[in-house]
Amino acid sequence: MVVTRGHKVKIFADGADLNGILELAADPRIEGFTTNPTLMRRAGVDDYEGFAHKVLDHVGGRPVSFEVFSDDFDEMREQAHRIARWGGNVYVKIPVTDTSGHSSAAVVKDLAADGIQLNVTGILALDQVRTAAEALEASRASIVSVFAGRIADTGRDPVPIMDEALEILRPHPQLELLWASPREILNVCQADQIGCHIITVTHDLLPKLDGIGRSLEDVSLDTVRMFYRDALDAGYVL
């Protein structure tokens, strides 16, 4: 599906504002949704399962990722099974490690063998991509989320890393690479150019999708007009 101006990368909305999610559910460019406990806490969500069911009632079967929140691997398994029962379009997010840095690969492998659709999250390093791919060997459909924006925050160019991550996943057609934590709309174009399957876009970035491919002269004129209008509205005089 071409989602905007010739781009084929799938756009998933990332957030936890229920009203915003319901509004975006009417946008045909949005092919899925992701959230996490941090976003939910910021949005004031106090009933995890109740919020999840409200989202699932309105997204029309599009994939939605909900994350476990235990730091204990056995409890992660239990939470994953419970979350997976919420719907056939649910992907369960499993962090790549626990908070002590211990790999969750064994948990991922068990859940994949149980037929649960997973979203392995919090990945930044290519070795983590390799480990996730191996653990997801038995998966029927899962997502590997690499936080490209956080890679960029360390001063590294995320594009070569994401490109290599795609190569790692290429022998596993049941797995999709997700470009997580974008910082600007340019990331949508970058993800598309390398053939990344999915990119999450936050609610504040989504309106900028319409600017992809615009004439730079048009954007320049809009900028000049904005400065002029704001000066007039402020009543500045010299």
Residues acting as catalytic residues: 93
Alpha carbon distance 233, 121 (integer Å)? 46
The label of the residue with tokens 């730091």 reads 71
Alpha carbon distance 58, 55 (integer Å)? 6
On whether the CB atoms of residues 169 and 133 are closer than 8 A, the answer is yes
CA torsion sign for 124, 156, 148, 169 is negative
- The secondary structure of 24-59 as a DSSP string is HTT-TTEEEEE--HHHHHHTT---HHHHHHHHHTTS
CA atoms within 13 A on the CB side of 19: 2
Question: Given 3-state DSSP classes, what are the helix, strand and coil percentages for the chain, each rounded to the nearest 5?
Answer: 45, 20, 35
- The secondary structure of 153-167 as a DSSP string is HTT--HHHHHHHHHH
